[in-house]
Amino acid sequence: MNILTLGIESSCDDTSAAVLLNNKLLANVIANQKVHEKYGGVVPELASRAHQQNIIPVVDTAMKEAGIDKKDLNVIAYTRGPGLLGSLLIGSTFAKTMSLGLGLPLIEVDHLQAHILSHFIQKDDIVPDFPTFPFLCLLVSGGHTQIMQVNDYFEMKLIGKTIDDAAGEAFDKAAKILGLPYPGGPLVDKYGAMGDSKRFGFPKPQIKNLDFSFSGLKTSFLYFIRDHLKTDADFITSNLNDLCASMQFAIVGVLMHKIEKAINETGVNKIALAGGVSANSALRKALLDKGNQMGWKVYIPPFEFTTDNAAMIAITGYLKFEKGDYSTIEQSPYSNSKF
Ligand code: KG4
Ligand code: ZN
């Protein structure tokens, strides 16, 4: 039987709706919220207001792009958490109302699981090289940095996590120090591609297990810039590309070190990337090169599934639907990660 799933994502500052036919993508519409740019970070109250404005047009556009009517849908999936509560409330209330109105099954989805399961979306007629279990997943976003051992679709074990900032935050905070707008990660990537990554060196965190730390790196970057600005007011503008490349090199170095350690410790040499930072070109290249050299199987997600999107919510909803794991309207959103 063919299943049409509508996915709704509203956990942070992107309002997104997607339609899947089984595991195949028909539409994935994302409305980014520009309103946060000038504040240097997401302002929760503004995010919820923008979701409220965006949600109806985004869902409507996704269904039009998919060429379907709401009466054709079989199931509705939404992000229950983790995320900003005010943002989650908009998407979850909308999904619950729609499922009640249309008499459709409702499925709650964990945002982090969804980032990982985005690897099982089929984008076009070519069946991709789906990961085989078990595999490791480095989930790197603005809110999370963790390594999961994925033994099955819904059997995931957290084996390492950040003890302070997330990798995306490290990118965004470095960008902010350089005077770049939020979210700065993509800009650090863009300017870094034109710079010399060995020009400036930053200290590596000394964390023994599979956990990560980025706050020391951020602080040393801040002091480094502050000290240079004392003697050269143009230090940032005249070195922007090299500063971005060097900071990016340091962050990617931390991530690569832990990936290698996780593979050695678990004996699982299949590694997938997920989350917003997996769009980073230096990280993608470093992992592909290292994977080639070491004989690892590497899964790099298509760009549209790296940052927050509803296609990943829809695939997770579809996989849950297949195993009869439905939700009730009583389930309320949660802000903290359950992993
Ligand atoms: O997964 P995501 O969209 O949202 C969260 O769940 O956090 O990730 C957003 C994060 C931001 O910190 C953003 O700066 C970062 O991903 N990001 C990047 C790149 N594209 C997005 N960081 C580095 N390089 C990129 N190309
Ligand atoms: Zn995310």
Q: What is the DSSP string of 64-132?
A: HHHT--GGG--EEEEEEESS-HHHHHHHHHHHHHHHHHHT--EEEEEHHHHHHHGGG-B-SSSPP----
Residues at CB less than 6 angstroms from ligand 1: 12, 141-143, 168, 171-172, 183, 185-186, 189, 275-277, 279-280, 307-308
Residue type, 301: P
Kindly tell me the burial class for residue 142, based on how many C-beta atoms sit within 10 Å of its own C-beta (0-12, 13-18, 19 or more).
buried
Task: Return the structure tokens found at 322.
Answer: 């297949």
Q: What is the mean pLDDT of residues 26-54?
A: 88
Greatest mean pLDDT among 30-34, 122-126, 198-202, 206-210: 198-202
pLDDT of residue 120: 98
Q: Do domains 4-123+305-322 and 135-301 have the same CATH topology?
A: yes
H or E element that contains 227: helix 215-231
- Is 18:27 a contact under the CB 8 Å cutoff? yes
Query: Domain spanning 4-123+305-322: which superfamily?
Result: ATPase, nucleotide binding domain (3.30.420.40)
Please give the Cα distance from 154 to 50 (Å, whole number).
Answer: 32
* Angle of helix 85-102 versus helix 44-66 axis, rounded to 10: 30
pLDDT at 226 over 90: yes
Write down the domain spans for the chain: 4-123+305-322, 135-301
* Strand 75-81 relative to strand 145-152, pairing: unpaired
User: Which of 141, 278, 283 to probe ligand 1 with, by most ligand atoms within 8 A of CB?
Assistant: 141
Classify domain 135-301 by CATH number: 3.30.420.40
Answering whether pTM is above 0.85, one says yes
Q: Which of 22-26, 135-139, 204-208, 247-251 has the lowest mean pLDDT?
A: 204-208
Q: What is the mean pLDDT of residues 43-57?
A: 92
